[in-house]
Amino acid sequence: MAWTLTLAVCTLAAVALAAPFHNDDGLRVELSVVDGLLNRSTDGRIILMFAPAGIDPLDDYDVTSSPDQIFGKNAFKLQSPEAVTLSGGSNFSTDLGVWGWPNVSMNDLPAQSYSVQAFLTRYETQMRSDGSTVSVRFPCGDGAPSIDGPGSLKTSITNVTVTGGSQTIELAFDNITAGQDFNGSEIGGCHQGNYEDTTYLKYVKIRSEKLSRFWGRDMFVGANVVLPHGYNTNDTAKRYPVIYSQGHWPGDGGAFRYSRDEAFASAWNEGVVNANSSESRPTPKLILVTFRHETPFYDDSYAVNNANMGPWGDAINEELIPYIDQTFNTIAQPYARIQEGGSTGGWDSAANLIFRPDLFGACFSSYPDSLDFHRHQAIPLYTAENAYQLANGSIINSIRTFENDTEVILASTAQENHWELTFGTSSRSFLQWDVWQTVFGVQGYNNYPLEAWDKVTGEIYPGAVEYWKHMDLAHYITSNWDGEKNLGENLRNRIFVYVGERDDYFLNGGVHEFDSRVTAKGGPGWANFTYIAQNGHGGNYQDREIWDYLELLSGWIEDHSPEGATPLPRGVTVPSARGNYWEEVLAYGGREAAVARQASPVIYQHEKPRKHDTSALKASVGRWDPGMSLEAVWLLDSKPSCQPFAVMPEQTVTYERKHRWSRHAKLQLAVTGRKRGYETETRKSEFVWI
């Protein structure tokens, strides 16, 4: 035989890996680290940006408008004064080579003058309590940016003219982005530092026991608490309802942009709306809370327990909210706790009521991220084969606007996913589509989120999508309608959802799907939906003016208080209604579940083979994660007996015996699995005599 298994695998691997490095004729960028900048080696993500000459590459790197060309490459054990070379780039080099946007390969970079800068997002490798190990960036009270966060290495901006021919550019990392300079009473070091309290805006932060246990390091969660006019710490008899306002990293801003909107803040502080008009009225007396809960994957944890980010739902609801109730004069009862928010915060707020009917009274969820994955943005996730294109060839779009009543597409789902991939592989870009893989999906066998589709091609993996169902809120509600959780009764009249039919991110689709499923079960009015035809993404619930909205929330609380017109029945806030338990979430999607999903190839043979048996032998290729592409080969006495052949997961393959059974050779099935983000792995069956 002219080749061996080892050789066959090596040959394939070499072809796959060699492509990006065969670029002697193209553009090469050699990146070094100046002496003394790094005192130990680091892993991370290199992001190399070419902006038009004279423009700061960081000015605009948004997918819809950026003039930049961006290239990313993972770095392993980078150290001063070593150099890393970036060149080429292809669909197959996302893990070890270059991947770029909008040009995948550096060789396609148009010849012209650029303003060039490179960054290194540093990763730390951390083993989590379930035995999974990931290499990620831990944010630092900075809102988890995709690039140039505190601690990142950077080069200075350099003017370069790209010639289009063979060319080498040398750049040096010579600076580290400074950390946030918190001047408040900071606890926990470089992690969600605290700001300085003002009269009505208080910053709290606690070390989460549960998150720290999962991550194997100190993890903190914070809140910005806006107190109402007239609040007196000492008057503990006077207590206030709390509006939990969910959404992206607020920095030092209070809920509803308290510290960013002067008119709002001054009315709030003075306790009077329209102070100088005949319509002047008191501000609603509420405590407004927003959370600081950035994670190693995003600026917002989605405020639920999930196997990739950890027990954030518990950290907020079981640790931080009790701390808030202890520290401030709140009414610590479900009817006096409202969940609200828009977009990401729309999903967070809905999920928190739906998973915790025992804790909150109602949710007012505006233009939420998909509540029902029959439409994940515009992707029909359960039926489509590709996340970027429908079967009839139609492109699936991601971002739009309307001009003069005409829809204008700003980015397709493919474009946005490809752009994200420059900032991080294995869902580590800190961007939107990646965090959905993280929070809705489970852990992959590679320890990173089990992505529902291939980030480059868009091919959907139904086996991975199946795991999203526990975060599909319509599926969760309808499958717990009766029974122990009894959500059909317990959630009735407590869910309020608003969306504009011109939502910039097509999120109206998921609301309609959710509406149709819960309404089919509960009848019209089971939950309250508002659709406004001309509206896009943004604004308060039902597009209300801020004071109208807060008065609506205040009115709901008053009506549902024990003294109100329609008190919230005790029976609907029972502990049995609760879901999203951390232990269940981890058992469903953590390391043990990922390992249990795997199986080695097995050859089936009669227990006692008969002499002179010529019947074919059957074998299973084993179980692998969704999306693995598999290749099998039969080994005779450890040597390949054939060319490797492609197989499907869980396929049964057959070995045709050339000889009668005579115990003359040992037969094994070897299967090699490959997938983006996974190390190539070969698994062998036990041998059987043939």
Ligand X SMILES: *[C@@H]1O[C@H](CO)[C@@H](O)[C@H](O)[C@H]1NC(C)=O
Residues forming contacts to ligand X in the complex (CB under 6 A) are 39, 53-54, 91, 102-103, 108, 110, 156, 159, 174-175, 177-178, 183, 196, 232-234, 275-276, 390, 392-394, 403-404, 456-457, 496, 525, 528, 552
Distance of alpha carbon 291 from alpha carbon 349, whole angstroms? 12
Alpha helices in 203-320 (DSSP H): 209-215, 262-270, 312-314
d(CA 579, CA 569) in angstroms, rounded, equals 19
Instruction: Indicate the residue among 364 and 634 with the shorter CB distance to ligand X.
Output: 364
Indicate the residue among 4 and 156 with the shorter CB distance to ligand X. Answer: 156
Nearer to ligand X, 375 or 470 (CB): 375
Beta strands at 83-87 and 99-101: parallel, antiparallel or unpaired? unpaired
| Helices and strands (DSSP H and E) totals, the chain | 15, 34
> How far is Cα 653 from Cα 477, in angstroms, rounded to an integer?
41
- Choose between 46 and 439: whose C-beta lies nearer to ligand X: 46
| 292, 255 contact by CB (below 8 A) | no
- In the bound complex, what is the minimum distance in angstroms from residue 233's beta carbon to ligand X? 6
CB-nearer residue toward ligand X: 159 or 576: 159
| Residue closer to ligand X (CB basis): 539 or 640 | 539
Distance of closest approach, residue 649 Cβ to ligand X, in angstroms = 21
State the minimum distance, in angstroms, from the CB of residue 184 to ligand X: 7
In 3D, which of 427, 246, 249 has the Cα closest to residue 347? 246
Select 18 or 275, whichever has its Cβ closest to ligand X.
275
The 3-state secondary structure of 177-192, one letter per residue: CCCCCCCCCCCCCCCC
Choose between 25 and 196: whose C-beta lies nearer to ligand X: 196
Closest contact distance (angstroms) between CB of 591 and ligand X is: 30
Number of other CB atoms surrounding residue 184 within 10 Å: 13
Q: How far apart are CA 683 and CA 662, in angstroms?
A: 26
Contact 368, 347 (CB under 8 A): yes
Tokens 């592409």: give the residue. Answer: 629
Indicate the residue among 163 and 175 with the shorter CB distance to ligand X.
175
Nearer to ligand X, 64 or 129 (CB): 64
Three-state secondary structure of 606-628? CCCCCCCCCCCEEEECCECCCCC
Q: What's the closest the beta carbon of residue 201 comes to ligand X, in angstroms?
A: 13
Residue 464 half-sphere exposure toward CB, CA atoms < 13 A = 27
Within 13 Å, how many C-alpha atoms sit on residue 170's CB side?
5
d(CA 258, CA 269): 10
Distance in Å, CB of 589 to ligand X, minimum: 28
Rounded to the nearest 10°, the torsion over CA 305, 310, 313, 316 is 180
Helix (H, G, I), strand (E, B) or coil at 358: coil
**Residue showing the smallest CB distance to ligand X in the complex:** 54
* C-alpha pair distances (Å), 599 with each of 52, 208, 565, 602: 51, 36, 59, 9
Nearer to ligand X, 275 or 596 (CB): 275
Integer angstrom CA distances of residue 449 from 11, 87, 150, 321, 443: 29, 28, 25, 28, 5
- Report d(CA 77, CA 287) in Å as an integer: 48
Q: Provide the residue count of the chain.
A: 690
Q: How far is the CB of 641 from ligand X (least distance, A)?
A: 33
8 Å CB contact between 381 and 389: no
CB of residue 306 to ligand X, shortest distance in Å:
28
Q: CA 241, 367, 141: angle at the middle one, nearest 5?
A: 65
Nearer to ligand X (CB atom), residue 91 or residue 629: 91
CB of 159 vs ligand X, minimal distance in Å: 4
Backbone angles phi, psi at 300, to 5 degrees: -150, 130
Give me the least distance between CB of 496 and ligand X, in Å please.
6
* Shortest Å, Cβ 230 to ligand X: 10
User: How far apart are CB 522 and ligand X at their closest, in Å?
Assistant: 13
Choice between 234 and 326, CB closer to ligand X: 234
**Minimum distance, C-beta of residue 138 to ligand X, in the bound complex (Å):** 15
Please give the DSSP secondary-structure letter assigned to residue 377. T
Task: Output 178 or 565, the one with its CB closest to ligand X.
Answer: 178
End-to-end CA gap in the chain? 20
Shortest Cβ distance from residue 276 to ligand X (Å)?
A: 4
Residue with tokens 């918190």: 182
Pairing of strands 83-87, 27-33: antiparallel
